[in-house]
Amino acid sequence: MPDDKKVSASAKVFLIQPMLYKSVVTVYRIFAIVTLYAVLIGVLAYGFVMGFYALNTSWAAPVILSPADDKSLDFTQKLVTSRQTLEDLNVDMKRLQEGVAEMNKHRTALLALEPELQTAITREKKHNQATGPQLLELDKQKQADNLKTQAVMAQVREVEATINKDLAAGLITKGDAATQRAALNQAQSTYTDSKIGEILLTDSILEKTTTDTKTLDVLDKQAELISEVAQLDIAIGVAQKQIYEETKQITMLKQALATAKSTPYYLSVNGGNVVYFAFVPYDNQSSVSIGTAVYDCYLNMVACKKVGTVKQSFAGEEHAIHPIFRTDIRGFLIQMQLDRAESAKSKTVFLNRKPLFF
């Protein structure tokens, strides 16, 4: 009996195994056929997609710009820096302009002082020319007078000796003697004053007839005045040059800021509402114009429908990766007015017309 069972079991295996194998092979063949057809379809589709994107000139790749993007952040940073620079320049300009005004005022005041000084110098010179010779004459007269007084003073010493003798002889009292001596001293003092007057007169003559230090001081002041005016001229020139340069810089910065305000990144950062952009390679530039229709397609090429229009085109060059070939390409951004927000997430959209006419 056990042998019968063994035979029966092996017979079962013998029967089941071919059936099992046949089933596996059938499933495998179905799978293989499906796979090979899938590969064939895949290859054809791949080739078609490659060819399609190599030849099509109306595709654009939607780009979602976020304020947190590297480019947007970089742009914001540059914008802030530019604005700060503009502010700094404006403040500096104001300071410079005020400085120039102040310097001009100072210069005007100095220039007004200069003729008055010149007039005073001329007047004084003229007066000296007149009084100098007169004083010289008076000095000579004074010298003659003093010579005469000097001779008289020699006699005074003799009178004093006589007084002393008379006092010693008791011819005059002590009081008389003191009175007479005081008169003699008075005469001596007058003579000394006269000598001093003569010397002072010489000084005055010197002042009036030659260029003295006082005059030099006045001339120095005059030179300083002229120099100060010249320095002010230079400072005003430099300041005006700086104002000119800074005005130019301000103009350029204002232009740059105006340009920046017309970039997609500014719109992205400051736009407030959601703004839709798309990258357009230069090869497809001919398909772009304001108001052109934007189509979004199923499988990136078929069953297309209009989803919006082109709102504006930006001039700045952008680089992007080709959505299919994965190569670096050059182009520019456009702003789209989309009725269907989901289209902004599509790999590609088409401009102007449906790529395959359906």
In the complex, the residues that contact another protein under the rule CB under 8 A are: 17-18, 21-22, 24-25, 28-29, 31-33, 35-36, 39, 46, 50, 324-327
Cβ neighbors of 19 (< 8 A, separation 6 or more) are: none
CB closer to another protein, 32 vs 238:
32
CB closer to another protein, 47 vs 316:
47
Q: How far apart are CA 39 and CA 116, in angstroms?
A: 107
CB closer to another protein, 300 vs 343:
300
The nearest distance, CB 32 to another protein, in angstroms, is 4
CB closer to another protein, 19 vs 147:
19
The nearest distance, CB 45 to another protein, in angstroms, is 12
Cβ neighbors of 120 (< 8 A, separation 6 or more) are: 218
CB closer to another protein, 21 vs 244:
21
Cβ atoms of 316 and 333 within 8 Å: the answer is yes
Write out the E strands in the chain: 59-63, 276-281, 293-298, 302-321, 328-338, 349-351
The vertex-112 CA angle with 111 and 113, nearest 5°, equals 90
The nearest distance, CB 275 to another protein, in angstroms, is 30
The nearest distance, CB 337 to another protein, in angstroms, is 33
The residue among 215, 194, 23, 2 whose CA lies nearest residue 124 is 215
Q: How far apart are CA 166 and CA 174, in angstroms?
A: 10
The nearest distance, CB 283 to another protein, in angstroms, is 16
CB closer to another protein, 46 vs 48:
46
The length of the chain is 358
CB closer to another protein, 18 vs 316:
18
The nearest distance, CB 77 to another protein, in angstroms, is 32
Identity of the residue numbered 48: F
The residue among 108, 179, 195 whose CA lies nearest residue 146 is 195
The nearest distance, CB 10 to another protein, in angstroms, is 17
Q: How far apart are CA 310 and CA 63, in angstroms?
A: 14
